[in-house]
Structure 1
Amino acid sequence: MTSFDLQEEIRHVAVDRPEPHIARVMLQGRSRYNLMSYAMLRELWAVANRLQGDADLRVVIVSGLPDAFSAGMDLKQAEVAGHRALSTAERLEIHSIGARACAAWESLDAVTVCAIEGYCLGGGLAFSLACDYRVASSGAMLGAPELRNGMNMSWQSIPRLVALIGQARTRKLLMLGDPVDAQTAERWGLVDELSDPGDAQEKALLLARRLASMPPVPMRMTKQAINVAANALGHAVSYMDLEQYVACQSTDEHQQALDAFFQRR
């Protein structure tokens, strides 16, 4: 498979193949904060399913823009700003793509490496948790401001976060809503390797080459075994977070947070 198989079909994600066993995927969202959209999530889901069919692929590097891996979902998109005009069934269908996209990336046979520069917040953080490795620039910031905006952390990301950094640090990250710097994230286990500013992609490529040089079949088995061991109960404890998110949308706190956000903008 070449990048041309996908490029004509997608607008919010760029895909290329720098080396025979390594693919690169770049998130291309709105503004310099690289905000995610539901269209981007649908494309990420589609790209993951296409990549899964590539027998030669061993590693996928995911990156964002120079200033931001992604600062989260675009709150100005109609599916968020105009949620009150949608029925509960419509909202459940629209928002389900986040969890489905993350699940598709988590289940890839290829090893996945996120190259994080700048902000990695909210949906950006949730998506990165579905990947196997996170390489972050020393200037990166990682966090989840969902509770501040009257929302729960969804996309079935809480079990992944607990598996990575434990209960206490997950509480600190989610319940207080304060981002952490890359050095703290590495100390917690949220980030695997640090790079100099601007060099996260290059360091991720070096890691990808090491991973791609390993025997592919044992590597695939090892990835699957680690994911199952870490997330054996993940679905059981988070399968309702989509419904919880839709319920949170109906609260006064969520609407007040959105109103405050738009007034600031």
Structure 2
Amino acid sequence: MTPSLGTVRIELDGEVAILTLDHPPLNTITKEIIVALDEHIDRIGRGASIRAVVVTAAGERAFCVGSDIRAFEELTRAGQLVSGKLRHENDVFSRLARLPRPTVAAIEGYALGGGLELAACCDFIVCGEGARLGLPEIRLAALPAIGGTFRVTHRIGVARAKELMLLGEPVDAATALSWGLVNRVAATGQALRTALDLARKLARNPLECHVLCREAIDSGSGLPERQAIEQSLAFSAKLAQGSDFREGARAFLAKQQPVFVDVPKGPADQRG
């Protein structure tokens, strides 16, 4: 029997799309999973009714432990490890990171290598108490090449990133929380429920404002102060032209809950 190569399932919970890596027990990253993830990102970007996304995985042992190392030698001989596999994965992970929807990763068990890099593409990470998170690539004389060197560093800072990547040792949930690597720690088995609760709250927020605020956070810290100010002013001017901005002010003055409807067209809708 040919072993399953895995896929990514999608289901809807109201306005929240749940993407589930379905390649247990370790949910290793395969070409099939990357292709399925890419297709679902397209669907979500086109779906006006989808206002938040949760990324999770099947089984209890691992969220994802990255790639199957046994395939590396053949890919390297064929000249496809970097120019094929890693480049394709970077393209898809970047599209997830730019998706114009709030995203939450729900981790149970191990999130190692590419698994942690996948989670780091999300705006928020929730993990169970028994989770172990790490970037052990240095033990293979490799580095985290699917965004780990910059996305994880952006989360936890240079000193902690060096500790995580240069030692290659995983950290437990409590340490990950104290470092800022994850946003919430749930009871074991409750990460998905906690992530869904968070995603439902995020789904009520204005999407265009979410996208621009995230961009200001991600890029603003690397800009000179004057450029960061100009960027925030430009984003504010854009938001002031939208119906959500008017709805927010109306609902506030009327002491009502706002109903935001604008759906942004962001970089995830483009390939490049």
Where on the TM-score scale, by shorter chain, does this alignment land: which range? Answer: 0.7 to 0.9
SS of aligned partner of 1:95: helix
Provide the identity percentage.
31
Alpha-carbon distance between aligned partners in 2 of 1:11 and 1:165, rounded to the nearest angstrom: 31
Alpha-carbon distance between aligned partners in 1 of 2:68 and 2:221, rounded to the nearest angstrom: 30
Alpha-carbon distance between aligned partners in 1 of 2:221 and 2:35, rounded to the nearest angstrom: 26
Alpha-carbon distance between aligned partners in 2 of 1:211 and 1:156, rounded to the nearest angstrom: 24
> Which residue identity is paired with 1:62?
V
- Residues 126-149 of structure 1 show CA distances to partners (whole Å, capped at 9, x for unaligned) of 111111000000100000110101
- Residues 43-62 of structure 1 show CA distances to partners (whole Å, capped at 9, x for unaligned) of 21222122111122211000
Normalised TM-score (structure 2): 0.75
208 and 87 in structure 1: CA distance in 2 versus 1, 3 angstrom threshold: closer
In the TM superposition, residue 229 of structure 1 has moved relative to its aligned partner by: 2.6
Does 2:93 match 1:73? no
Q: Which residue of 2 aligns with 1:107?
A: 98
Q: 1:86 aligns with which of 78, 81, 89?
A: 78
Q: Which residue of 1 aligns with 2:31?
A: 38
Q: Check the 8 A contact 2:6/2:30 in 1, yes or no.
A: no
Alpha-carbon distance between aligned partners in 2 of 1:182 and 1:197, rounded to the nearest angstrom: 10
Give the aligned CA root-mean-square deviation in angstroms: 1.9
Q: Which residue of 2 aligns with 1:15?
A: 10
> Which residue identity is paired with 2:220?
A
221 and 157 in structure 1: CA distance in 2 versus 1, 3 angstrom threshold: same
> Which residue identity is paired with 2:67?
M
In the TM superposition, residue 85 of structure 1 has moved relative to its aligned partner by: 3.2
Q: Which residue of 2 aligns with 1:207?
A: 198
Alpha-carbon distance between aligned partners in 1 of 2:202 and 2:136, rounded to the nearest angstrom: 33
Q: Check the 8 A contact 2:100/2:207 in 1, yes or no.
A: no
168 and 37 in structure 1: CA distance in 2 versus 1, 3 angstrom threshold: same
In the TM superposition, residue 231 of structure 1 has moved relative to its aligned partner by: 6.9
SS of aligned partner of 2:213: helix
In the TM superposition, residue 230 of structure 1 has moved relative to its aligned partner by: 5.2
Q: Check the 8 A contact 1:45/1:101 in 2, yes or no.
A: yes
Q: Which residue of 2 aligns with 1:125?
A: 116
Q: Check the 8 A contact 1:71/1:119 in 2, yes or no.
A: yes
- Residues 18-75 of structure 1 show CA distances to partners (whole Å, capped at 9, x for unaligned) of 11x210000112x411111122122212221221111222110000122211011112
13 and 161 in structure 1: CA distance in 2 versus 1, 3 angstrom threshold: same
Alpha-carbon distance between aligned partners in 2 of 1:84 and 1:216, rounded to the nearest angstrom: 41
Q: Which residue of 1 aligns with 2:156?
A: 165
- Residues 161-211 of structure 1 show CA distances to partners (whole Å, capped at 9, x for unaligned) of 111101110010000000000100000000000100000000001101111
> Which residue identity is paired with 1:181?
D
Does 2:146 match 1:155? yes
Q: Which residue of 1 aligns with 2:218?
A: 227
Gaps of 5+ in 1: 1-9, 233-265
91 and 228 in structure 1: CA distance in 2 versus 1, 3 angstrom threshold: closer
In the TM superposition, residue 103 of structure 1 has moved relative to its aligned partner by: 0.4
Q: Which residue of 1 aligns with 2:57?
A: 64
Alpha-carbon distance between aligned partners in 1 of 2:85 and 2:211, rounded to the nearest angstrom: 32
Alpha-carbon distance between aligned partners in 1 of 2:28 and 2:82, rounded to the nearest angstrom: 20
166 and 142 in structure 1: CA distance in 2 versus 1, 3 angstrom threshold: same
Q: Which residue of 1 aligns with 2:235?
A: none
Alpha-carbon distance between aligned partners in 1 of 2:110 and 2:126, rounded to the nearest angstrom: 13
